[in-house]
Structure 1
């Protein structure tokens, strides 16, 4: 018959094994991670990519081909809050200030900006 002391000793032995296994797993993950990072860096260098190319919503820092320029077009403001000066072009999701105003019972037409005459 096993005693309580024997069971506690076995428990301690298993706990040490568990910690050792966890350390081994962490070491293996770290080694794999280093290899993957090196591989990613190599692929980025081969294809001329930067970190900015991987981040959504940012523009690439690359220079356009010689003789070609990127023309930036601005979108006219379609909605404006006269109280705060906040604006929205009408593209994409409605901004929070507009959603809050609409939920408060105001109408979208209240925020419409009068069209500017073409020059």
Structure 2
């Protein structure tokens, strides 16, 4: 009859064999993958597209619509009106 220590020893031996088998299989798999990639001229970017992230579209800056000629303050006309324009006629500052 086996003891607890015998089972622990067997477990350790099996874990070591399993790890060795895994390393061997991974090495073989990598070799197969390299052969297939070379055969078809593939790169990592071709496999999943992660190697080169897609370029993001750049936004064009919004053009200034209003300008105070005396101070040089500007506003695009988007969002809340700035303090310098409060209580004033916006059409007077409109850039034509």
Using the size of structure 1 for normalisation, the TM-score is 0.42
Relative contact order, CA 8 A, sep 6+: which one is greater? 2
Q: Quick check: which has more Rg, 1 or 2?
A: 2
Q: CA RMSD in A?
A: 3.3
Q: In 2 relative to 1, CA 75–15 (structure 1 residues): closer, same or farther, beyond 3 Å?
A: closer
> How has the CA–CA distance of structure 1 residues 76 and 13 changed in structure 2, closer, same or farther, with 3 Å as cutoff?
closer
TM-score, normalized by length of structure 2?
A: 0.51
Structure 1 CA distance, aligned partners of 2:58 and 2:11? 63
Structure 2 gap segments, 5+ residues each: 63-77, 80-96
Moved over 6 A (4+): none
Matched positions, count: 62
Hey, what's the Cα distance between the residues in 1 that align with 2:37 and 2:6?
47
SS in structure 1 at match of 2:59: coil
Gaps of 5+ in 1: 1-5, 60-73, 81-108, 111-119
